[in-house]
Each structure stands twice: as structure tokens, then as C-alpha cells.
């Protein structure tokens, strides 16, 4: 074989090797799957996926909180000797949080939608609207004049940008659920999946729910074809060579639908309130991070604002704002949001103004021995109810279930258009190591006795239940008779040993009614989830999906 043939052979072998390398290195960057090599998002059909997704955008009203490790719990004074906030090292994933507390104007938008969608003059819907109304009577005091707030605080424009109060934990959760649906509805409208102004057509029989859209899109808006029909969509629906349509509806893979708005967990709220951009060790920030701002004092040390209060709180007996015109915190009750400087994360009023509901069920201990990652007590796992024909069960107006709360107020457990939820069962939990039941609120919730009978010597009748449990607050029974009148049965048992049960929730932060002691983000208190006050409000949070940090395009070493 001459040199020319040898050279040609070498060139041929090199070319074949390069083709092999190119063939093996196919990846999703050129539109092909790294798993199979097939083309992704082929217009002729096949696997459809948003491989152009960059990162999650912050939803309306939210700011980004980069997660990390911190010491949750008691880090400053403890004159009350509650011993319910012992320090524990925790890690929180990145998330988003409202930059301000939910305001009266924001909540009035919710009320307006509910009133239009479920008109209270219709008997079947009357209790839905009444169930989400804030309790404006929380302002009243036996020896104080507060009718101005009772009549005006919620609705008058003068208080529009003030934090909403009189809202129970249950109502705060309902607001977050409504907000999830409205933001998703807006996003899908802008992307062309829904008709313009479809949100203005909502009725009790025809409205948008994001979970229904994902699981049964043709049932959205009560199956209203004029809104969800792909032939009338503003998007160009793709048709395969076989005549099948693809990309008709948005799904999770589209990247358009964000995680739900929700209440922040206690760990998230405390982490965000501390606003630690650099100080993460307990021993480093002890004494320097008593409040959401640096230092151990409530007054500003800056030259321009020296001596000014840094939050809205009760400064002393009979002193809710200071002497008028001098050393005044600018508010006698709540203050307009953004009245004070934000913390390092850009969050306003994480101390003072109003205390805030968080998601957690209250227990005196935080069990860091079992979990130190995204700590949260309150998981009740559910799943979609499935009909006999294998489809999800959509709640109809005739199937609304109402709950009568301990204070006699009636709220809707589910709304038309939603997917009926049922608890997980043994088929879902069999041989699982992470959970073995639907309701996990009581899991490892105290000393060893809390998982056994706390006091076997207690006598128990058929009417008097769970008095032997460690967390056995009074069970007041409230029912309505056939005429709709409230029948109240007070729990008069003398065997109750606690005010804690599975329906009390944690609230965090000091308020306009609280002394400076409660401004420490580590402080924690609890209140019944179905009751409201004039000093507890809330803000929403949203989980972060994807990267831990924003704009992190480069790989780490």
C-alpha cells in the first residue's frame, strides 16, 4: 500500500471518528434529547418541553429571598421564660415573600371577586362571601372608643395601604389560594392560552382554578368552550402530520405556571425577618441582630434620622407612638406599609405594625433532631378525588361543604370548580419511610408522653374525648339547628391541661400593640386559626424552583 492510500485511509478513519464523537455528544442544546437523540418539541409531535426556560420570575408583590443556614430560635432576651424557642440550626431553601403585609386594598380586591363570582344575595352562595369577610369588630374595646376603625379601617381609602387585620388564619389561606388562581389566570391570558378578559366572566358555575386547569383543562370555567377552545385561542395551535393538535393547553412542563402563593413557614418568616446577608452563625450575630436591623436599639443612629424609631410598636404604658411632633413613630394604630426602611432583603415591617400569621401549627418545641431542612409542622397530605370513570372529581355548586367554626362563623371548605381533595390512604403510604399517614400535625410534638396516653387515670365518657392527650385544649362545640340558629356547647371539663391543639397557629413579629420585646424575629406566639384580632395580619410567600440563586448562569467549581 503506497503512502497516498495510507494517507487517504487515515483521513477516512479520522472523519469516521469525528462523526462518532458528534453523534455521541448530541444534547438538548441543539433540540435533541440527551437520553434518546430524538428531537424535542418536534412540530410533527413527540415529547414537548420548554427547554428555553431560564429561571423563575418573581410573582406580583414578591421579592426574592436567597436561602441558607441560620440559627432559628432564642437569640436575645427571654424575660418571659417561655422556653419555646430554643436555638436550633436550620436550613431554608430559597423562596419569595411579599415585600409588604397584605393591605386592605389587596384584600378588598379578593372580596370584590368573591362577591361578583358568588353573589351573597343567592342563597347557595351567601355563606361563601360572609365567610371571607374580615371581622371589623376586633377594634372594639369595653373601655375605649374605636368605632371609627370599626366602620372605616377596612374600606376607607385613607386606610387602603394599611395592613389588613381582623383576618383569621383560615381566611389568610383562602386569600393565598385565590391569589394563586388569579395570577395563573393572568399569565395564561397573556400567553394566549385563555381568551382576553376571561377573568371578568367568572361565575359560581364557571371560574378558573389552576389545579383544575392542569389536571382537567376542558373542565375549566365549567367547560365553557368559548374560553378554552383551542380553535379560538390567540395562540397558533400546532398540528402534527397525522392531524393531531399539540401544545393545546399549558402544563407544568411549559414553565408558565408558578408555584402556589401560600403563607410562609415559621422558619422562612424568621429567616427573612433577620435579613442576614452575611452573618449566618449564632455566635457571630448574637447581640448584633436582635431586630431585623443591626444593633440592639429601636432608634436610628444615622445622622439624618438619629433618634427616630425604626418600627411601629408600643413604647410604654399608654404610649403607642411617642409625644406628638417629637420622637413620634408616626402611628398610633397600624401604619401605612413602607413607612419605615426595609430590612436587607427588601422586606418592610418585619418588626412592628402588625404581627403576622405563618403556616405552622404551634407546639412548644421545634424538633430539629428529626428535621433541620425546610422545617414545618402542619403537613396534612391529600390527593385528588377520582371518579368511577377515572377522571378527577370537580366540585359543583350543589356540592359545597361548609364548616362551622368554634366561634360560630361558617366558611366554605371547598368552592365550585376546584378538585375535591381526600386524604392519602394506606395504598399511598405502604412501605414509605417518609410518612405513614395523612395527618402529620402531631408527629413528635413534645416529650415521650405526647405520643402515648398522657394521663391514663383521667376518666373519659363518650361525650368527653381526648382529655387524656397532652395537647388537649377545650373543645367547644358549635352547631346550627334547623332554623339556622347557633347552638353553643361550652367545654366545661376540668381535665383540660392545655390551650394548645391542632387548630392553633403560630404568629410572628411584634405589632402596634406590643412592646419592643416582641420585635425580636425569634419570638413566637400562637392563636386559634379560626379567630382574628386587630393586631395580626399576614403576608404571602412562594417557593423557588430551580437554582438557589438568581441569575446564576455559570457553573460552580
Q: Is the pTM of this model over 0.85?
A: yes
Q: How many CB atoms lie within 10 A of CB 531?
A: 18
pLDDT at 47 over 70: yes
* Contact indicator for 198, 208 with CB cutoff of 8 Å: yes
> 3-class SS at 91?
strand
Q: Residue 231: pLDDT above 70?
A: no
Least confident of 163-172, 199-208, 387-396, 441-450: 441-450
- How far apart are alpha carbons 170 and 167 in whole angstroms? 8
Q: What is the pLDDT of residues 459-507, one digit of tens each?
A: 444 444 444 567 888 888 888 777 777 788 888 888 788 889 999 999 9
- Distance between CA 50 and CA 410 in Å, rounded? 43
Q: 103 pairs with which residues across the strands?
A: 163
* Chain segment 539-554, per-residue pLDDT in tens: 999 999 999 998 765 5
**Residues 6 or more apart in contact with residue 240 via CB below 8 angstroms:** 43, 44, 45, 246
188 pLDDT tier (thresholds 50, 70, 90): very high
Contacts of 247 (CB under 8 A, 6+ apart): 48, 235, 237, 238
Termini Cα distance of the chain: 51
Q: What is the C-alpha to C-alpha distance for residues 464 and 61, in angstroms, rounded to an integer?
A: 47
511-528: average pLDDT: 92
Closest CA to 525 of 506, 499, 500: 506
pLDDT tens-digit readout, 96-125: 999 999 999 999 999 999 999 999 999 889
Helix residue ranges, H only, 406-533:
426-429
pLDDT, tens only, 282-323: 445 444 567 776 666 666 666 666 557 767 888 889 888 877
HEC secondary structure over 505-557: EEEECCCCCCCHHHHCCCCEEEEECCCCCCCEECCCEEECCCCCCCCCCCCCC
Q: Within 10 A of 500 (CB to CB), how many other CB atoms are there?
A: 18
pLDDT at 195 over 60: yes
Please report which confidence band the pLDDT of residue 538 belongs to, taking 50, 70 and 90 as the band edges.
Answer: very high
Amino acid at each position: 500500500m503506497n503512502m497516498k492510500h495510507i494517507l487517504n485511509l487515515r483521513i477516512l478513519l479520522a472523519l469516521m471518528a469525528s462523526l462518532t464523537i458528534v453523534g455521541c455528544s448530541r444534547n438538548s442544546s441543539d433540540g435533541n434529547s440527551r437520553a434518546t437523540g430524538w428531537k424535542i418539541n418536534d412540530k410533527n409531535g413527540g415529547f414537548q418541553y420548554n427547554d428555553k426556560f431560564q429561571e423563575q420570575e418573581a410573582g406580583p408583590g414578591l421579592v426574592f429571598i436567597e436561602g441558607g443556614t441560620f440559627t432559628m430560635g432564642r437569640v436575645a432576651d427571654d424575660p418571659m421564660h417561655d422556653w419555646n424557642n430554643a436555638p436550633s440550626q436550620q436550613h431554608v431553601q430559597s423562596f419569595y415573600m411579599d415585600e409588604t403585609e397584605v393591605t386592605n386594598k389587596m384584600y378588598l380586591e379578593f372580596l370584590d371577586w368573591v362577591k361578583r363570582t358568588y353573589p351573597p344575595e343567592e342563597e347557595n352562595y351567601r355563606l361563601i362571601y360572609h365567610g371571607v369577610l374580615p371581622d371589623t369588630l376586633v377594634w372594639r374595646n369595653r373601655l375605649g372608643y374605636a368605632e371609627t376603625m370599626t366602620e372605616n379601617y377596612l374600606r376607607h381609602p385613607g386606610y387602603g395601604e394599611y395592613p389588613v387585620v381582623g383576618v383569621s388564619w383560615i381566611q389568610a389561606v383562602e386569600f393565598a389560594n385565590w391569589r394563586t388562581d388569579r395570577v395563573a389566570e393572568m399569565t395564561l391570558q397573556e400567553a394566549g392560552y385563555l381568551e382576553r378578559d376571561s377573568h371578568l366572566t367568572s361565575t359560581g358555575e364557571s371560574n378558573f382554578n389552576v389545579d383544575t386547569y392542569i389536571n382537567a383543562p376542558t373542565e375549566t370555567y365549567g367547560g365553557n368552550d368559548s374560553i378554552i377552545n383551542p380553535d379560538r385561542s390567540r395562540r397558533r395551535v400546532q398540528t402534527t402530520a397525522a392531524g393531531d393538535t399539540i401544545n393545546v393547553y399549558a402544563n407544568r412542563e411549559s414553565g408558565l405556571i408558578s408555584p402556589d402563593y401560600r403563607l410562609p413557614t415559621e422558619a422562612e418568616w424568621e429567616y427573612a425577618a433577620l435579613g442576614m446577608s452575611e452573618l449566618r452563625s449564632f455566635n457571630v450575630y448574637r447581640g448584633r441582630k436582635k431586630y431585623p436591623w443591626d444593633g440592639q436599639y429601636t432608634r436610628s443612629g444615622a445622622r439624618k434620622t438619629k433618634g427616630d424609631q425604626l418600627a411601629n410598636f408600643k413604647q410604654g404604658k399608654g404610649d403607642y407612638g411617642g409625644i406628638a411632633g417629637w420622637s413620634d413613630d408616626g402611628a398610633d394604630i397600624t401604619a401605612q406599609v413602607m413607612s419605615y426602611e426595609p430590612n436587607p432583603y427588601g422586606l418592610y415591617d418585619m418588626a412592628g405594625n402588625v404581627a403576622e400569621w405563618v403556616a405552622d401549627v404551634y407546639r412548644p418545641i421545634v424538633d430539629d433532631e428529626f428535621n433541620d431542612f425546610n422545617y414545618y409542622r402542619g403537613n396534612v397530605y391529600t390527593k385528588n378525588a377520582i371518579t368511577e370513570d377515572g377522571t378527577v372529581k370537580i366540585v359543583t355548586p350543589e356540592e359545597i361543604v361548609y364548616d362551622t367554626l368554634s366561634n360560630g362563623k361558617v366558611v366554605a371548605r371547598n368552592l365550585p370548580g376546584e378538585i375535591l381533595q381526600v386524604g392519602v390512604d394506606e395504598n399511598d403510604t405502604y412501605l414509605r419511610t417518609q410518612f405513614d399517614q395523612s395527618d402529620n400535625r402531631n408527629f413528635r410534638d413534645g416529650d415521650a408522653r405526647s405520643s402515648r396516653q398522657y394521663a391514663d387515670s383521667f376518666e373519659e365518657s363518650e361525650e368527653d374525648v381526648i382529655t387524656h392527650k397532652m395537647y388537649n385544649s377545650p373543645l367547644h362545640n358549635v352547631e346550627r339547628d334547623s332554623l339556622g340558629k347557633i347552638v353553643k356547647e361550652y367545654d366545661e371539663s376540668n381535665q383540660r391541661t392545655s390551650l394548645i391543639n391542632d387548630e392553633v397557629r403560630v404568629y410572628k413579629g411584634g405589632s402596634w400593640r406590643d412592646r419592643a420585646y416582641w420585635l425580636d424575629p425569634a419570638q413566637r406566639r400562637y392563636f386559634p386559626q379560626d379567630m382574628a384580632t386587630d393586631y395580626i395580619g399576614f403576608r404571602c410567600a412562594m417557593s423557588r424552583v430551580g437554582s438557589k440563586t438568581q441569575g446564576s448562569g455559570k457553573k460552580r467549581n
